[in-house]
């Protein structure tokens, strides 16, 4: 599982995985074996590099629900930072680009399976209205209309597996009233 860490002006690319019960943290590409146990409801005992450190985690609300805010208290003080799923970051920025470009063709932003189709050809949709759900990376990704538009053509059907950038739905933007 990957996360982008942001603390102050710094960002780091992190990954954590569990193999045969053992945890490994990857910090900007460097693999670090991690011995971590939850000892109390919000409190962890970590032994990393033989150092034993107790960490208490508070979740901090952020404006963006995809940006997970944390406050970690240690013996040497508190650390405030956020963790974000880099895929979501990627998707969000791709969507923002697609929207700005105003293009009428919705493409799959990552490989996945069409789980649900909410529209049919000829229908008009409002900005933000759900178009389809693409299952990718164990997540249900809901694609919404980037503008008020008419559904001109549907290139997929439910259950279809898509490659990255596969065309999904062609939209024709409606003029603002």
Partner 1 sequence: MPVTKLLIANRGEVACRILRTCREMEIPTVAVYSDSDRGAMHVRLAVNSYPIGPTPSRESYMRVDKIVDVAKLSGADAVHPGYGFFAEDPEAARKIIDAGLTWIGPSVEVLEKMGDKVVARGIAQRVGVPVLPAVYEVNDDEALVAKAAELGFPLMVKPVLGRDGKGMRMVRTAGELRRALPRVKGEAIFSFWDERVYLEKALVNPHHVEVQIAADAHGNYVYLWERDGSLQRRFQQVAEEAPSPFVTPELRSKLGEAALAIAKEINYVGIGSVEFLLDDDKNFYFLEMTCRLQGGHAVTEWITGEDLVRWQISIARGEKLPLTQEQIPLWGHAFQCRINAEDPDKDFAPSSGTLNYLRTPAGRNIRNDSGVYYGWEMSPYYAPLISKLSAWGPNRELALARMHAALSEYRIGGVRNNVAFHKALTEHKPVLKGEYCTNVFRHAWWKQRGIGPNLKYAVAAALFEELEMEERRAQQPSTDASVEAWKRHNKINRL
Q: How far is the CB of 29 from partner 1 (least distance, A)?
A: 14
Q: How far, in Å, are 15, 19, 34, 36, 45 from residue 50 at the CA level?
A: 20, 20, 10, 12, 12
**Pick 62 or 122: Cβ nearer partner 1:** 62
CA 154 from centroid of its chain's CA atoms: 25
Give the nearer residue to partner 1 in terms of CB position, either 116 or 150.
116
The SS3 call for residue 90 is helix
Residue 133 near residue 143 (C-beta atoms within 8 A) = yes
Who contacts 69 (Cβ-Cβ below 8 Å, separation ≥6)?
Answer: 59, 60, 61, 62, 80, 81, 82
CB of 58 vs partner 1, minimal distance in Å: 5
CB closer to partner 1 out of 109 and 154: 109
Residues that bind partner 1 (CB under 8 A): 1, 3, 5, 7-8, 10, 12, 14, 16-18, 23, 25, 27, 32, 34-37, 39-48, 50-58, 65-66, 68, 70, 72-79, 81, 83, 88, 91-92, 95, 109, 115-116, 133, 135, 138-144, 158
Q: What is the closest distance, in whole angstroms, from the C-beta atom of residue 33 to partner 1 in the complex?
A: 11
């Amino acid at each position: 599982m990957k996360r982008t860490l942001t603390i102050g002006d710094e960002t780091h690319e992190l990954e954590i995985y569990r193999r045969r019960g053992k945890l490994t943290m990857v910090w900007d590409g460097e693999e670090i074996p991690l011995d971590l146990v939850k000892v109390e409801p919000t409190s962890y005992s970590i032994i990393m590099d033989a150092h034993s450190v107790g960490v208490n985690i508070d979740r901090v609300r952020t404006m963006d629900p995809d940006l997970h805010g944390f406050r970690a208290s240690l013996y040497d003080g508190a650390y405030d930072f956020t963790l974000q799923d880099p895929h979501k970051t990627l998707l969000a920025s791709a969507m923002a680009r697609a929207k700005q470009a105003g293009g009428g063709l919705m493409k799959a932003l990552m490989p996945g399976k069409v789980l649900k189709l909410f529209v049919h050809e000829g229908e008009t949709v409002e900005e933000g209205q759900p178009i389809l759900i693409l299952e990718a990376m164990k997540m249900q990704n809901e694609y919404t209309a980037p503008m008020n538009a008419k559904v001109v053509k549907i290139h997929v059907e439910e259950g279809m597996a898509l490659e990255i950038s596969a065309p999904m739905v062609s939209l024709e933007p409606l003029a603002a009233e």
